[in-house]
Amino acid sequence: MSEKYIGRSSQIAARVLGGEMMVMSSVDSTFFTLNEVATAIWQAADGRTPLTEIVVRNVCDEFEVDLETARRDAEQFVSELSHHGILLVSDHPFDMSAGPVEAA
């Protein structure tokens, strides 16, 4: 399986409210709240770090989840958010400088 790289879209707004991350797309106004694990992945989505590394470092180590479960859940999460244009996904590392949004 090829490695994936994920980055935050420039077309979103995001903020932490009461420990949960709120994310809204300015393209279709879809609105999501992310739980702690999803937030950890979101904040690490810098376009340069491989998804597997994010899962190991920010999910397995932090939340004591086994790699297989964490990776499966992360891929589902990434697929859903990329479908709404909230996360950008590539087979190669990419530069997020065109995207202005910090991790909130």
Record the tokens describing residue 97, joined without a space.
């400088």
Interface residues for other proteins in 15-34 (CB under 8 A)? 15-18, 22, 24, 26-27, 29, 31-33
Which residue, among 83, 80, 4, 9, has the nearest Cα to 49 in the 3D structure?
A: 4
Cβ closer to other proteins: 55 or 81?
Answer: 81
Q: Do residues 103 and 39 make contact, with C-beta atoms less than 8 angstroms apart?
A: no
Interface residues for other proteins in 31-60 (CB under 8 A)? 31-33
Binding residues for other proteins, rule: CB under 8 A, are 9-18, 22, 24, 26-27, 29, 31-33, 100-104
